[in-house]
Amino acid sequence: MATLFKPTRPYPLPAGAEVVEKDGKPHARVRERGKAVLYPLSADRASYLKPAVKWAADVRHADGTRKRVRFSPNRDAAALVLADLLKRIENEKAGLRDDYADHRKRPLNDLLTEYERHVLDKGATGKEAAQAARRCEIVFGAVGLSTLKDLDATPAERWLAERCGMPKADGGFGPATSNHYRKSLVAFGNWLVKARRAPENPFRHIPKVNEDVDVRHERRPLSQEEYVRVLDAARHGKVYCKMAGPDRRMLYLVGGATGLRSGELSSLTPESFELAGDPPVVVVEAAYSKHCRRDSVPLHPALIPELREWLAGKAVDSPVWPGKWAKHTEAVDMIRRDLEVARAAWFAEATTPADRAERERSGFLCYRDRNGRVADFHALRHTFITELVRAGVAPKDAKELARHSTITLTMDRYAHVGIRDTAAAVARLSLPTNDTSGTEPRSCARRGRTIPQFRAQQRAQQQAVAGGGNRGEAMKRPATSA
């Protein structure tokens, strides 16, 4: 049976140290931190024996080896840990091994490295795998979690809530970013369970945040007139981000006509455009697609001649829009600059001071409108999906063209409708008005009756009701032609 004790370590006896007897054994009185402390002397009386801070025990493990194990400075806590250790040893002797005992003391950084490799093996890009591990690393470092046994969802959930309540300048973020962090934590916890590193996922109960309450970066689609003016401003614009004006115009045009993301557009080469196909498509390879799948996106027929002419002078094996413009904020700065140029040209078209003042108050061609919505590069994707919905495309087709995992994301996040769109939808309804002279009732056409027959049956029903007759019999009578 293992017994708790405090190991002693010999220290040289100070010169002039007072030696006294205590319990029949020689002790040295040594001053430490201004206090006199008694320590037992060694057998040769040349040193004194100072006990360690932590309690320890000599434990015989399941393989028969005897090792000294150190525990807590608190004796009660050390006794509990020793009892748990002895229980595990007995279970191991009986063939009941704890599969998670070897991992509890592992550093989280090592586990995150394994997790990143696992995400890569599943087919994710290097950027996605590094981002998933980095988010977990940020949370663990912020709340002081260093080993697997320290994992706790409560401080992580509190940290996410605090960041949602802070301004962006102070390190805060919005609900959408908070949900991204939560998703990474839950995914890491699921991997711990599947990889037999932990018995359960400690982050599975962290709730999602309602993203509709506080949208930090809400985008808006470009109107048709805004889109045309931005394309014109880009065509005649100067070189920006090492991209000439005509190339920039074609970038905006393809982005707004296909809904491709900036990273996907930057990966395209002339071979990505299959203009002779039926139908003509642009192909995004799986390595650059967000959902890691080779995508073929159909092209508008009116775009084919212009694309064929523009691609004629491009190198076959090089990106048609080269550079690092898609990896940082250059894409946002690029379209923002062209918006400003287009808005300045629109101001110059004002004929009177009053007209110019009214245009300056307008949100037309503004990067950020009066409602705080922005028209950045990703807004071209919003424009594409919104135009699909306005054109009456079936929601299922819009979802497939957007390459979204759920139709909710397509309809709620990317499809923007205004009062003009909803008013036009209401105007398409058929209402039963008093003026039916020029319109055949839908029920009449549906049942294969002529209008005179329909009206004759209506009169017969009215006469039956007025005369107190059997309404059912009146409805069964054959209608006479009027």
Backbone angles phi, psi at 219, to 5 degrees: -100, 160
CATH superfamily entry for domain 221-433? Intergrase catalytic core (1.10.443.10)
Residue 184: band (very low, low, confident or very high) from pLDDT cuts 50, 70, 90: very high
The answer to whether residue 365 scores a pLDDT higher than 90 is yes
Instruction: Please state, in angstroms and rounded to a whole number, the distance separating the CA atoms of residues 479 and 482.
Output: 9
Nearest to 319 by CA among 284, 281, 275, 277: 284
- Kind of pairing between the strands at 66-70 and 273-274: unpaired
Q: Could you tell me if 268 and 321 are in contact, meaning their C-beta atoms sit under 8 angstroms apart?
A: yes
- Return the percentage of the chain with pLDDT > 70, whole number: 88
Output the pLDDT for position 218.
84
Residue 31: band (very low, low, confident or very high) from pLDDT cuts 50, 70, 90: confident
Distance of CA 266 to the CA centre of its chain: 22
Residue spans of alpha helices (H) in 294-417:
304-311, 330-348, 353-361, 379-390, 395-402, 407-408
pLDDT in tens, 121-163: 988 888 889 999 999 999 999 999 999 988 999 999 999 999 9
Nearest to 246 by CA among 237, 255, 258: 237
pLDDT in tens, 311-343: 998 888 899 999 889 887 889 999 999 999 999
Output the pLDDT for position 217.
73
Residue 216: band (very low, low, confident or very high) from pLDDT cuts 50, 70, 90: low
Output the pLDDT for position 215.
61
Output the pLDDT for position 183.
94
> In this structure, how many other beta carbons lie within 10 angstroms of the beta carbon of residue 66?
9
Output the pLDDT for position 400.
92
More confident residue, 230 or 90: 230
Output the pLDDT for position 445.
47
pLDDT in tens, 378-395: 999 999 999 999 998 999
Range scoring the smallest mean pLDDT among 64-78, 196-210, 237-251, 430-444: 430-444
In the chain, how long is the greatest CA-to-CA distance? Answer: 136
Instruction: Please state, in angstroms and rounded to a whole number, the distance separating the CA atoms of residues 197 and 302.
Output: 56
Handedness of CA 233, 238, 239, 245 (dihedral sign): positive
pLDDT in tens, 391-440: 989 999 999 999 998 998 898 888 888 777 777 777 777 777 655 454 45
Output the pLDDT for position 476.
43
- Return the percentage of the chain with pLDDT > 90, whole number: 49
Range scoring the smallest mean pLDDT among 22-26, 68-72, 200-204: 22-26
Output the pLDDT for position 89.
83
pLDDT in tens, 262-293: 999 999 999 999 999 899 999 998 877 777 78
Nearest to 334 by CA among 380, 377, 384, 378: 377
The answer for residues whose C-beta is within 8 angstroms of residue 436's C-beta and 6 or more apart is none
Output the pLDDT for position 472.
43
Range scoring the smallest mean pLDDT among 140-149, 224-233, 289-298: 289-298
Output the pLDDT for position 463.
67
pLDDT in tens, 434-481: 554 544 554 444 445 555 665 666 677 666 655 554 444 444 444 444
Output the pLDDT for position 466.
58
Every domain of the chain and the residues it spans = 8-93, 108-194, 221-433, 442-476
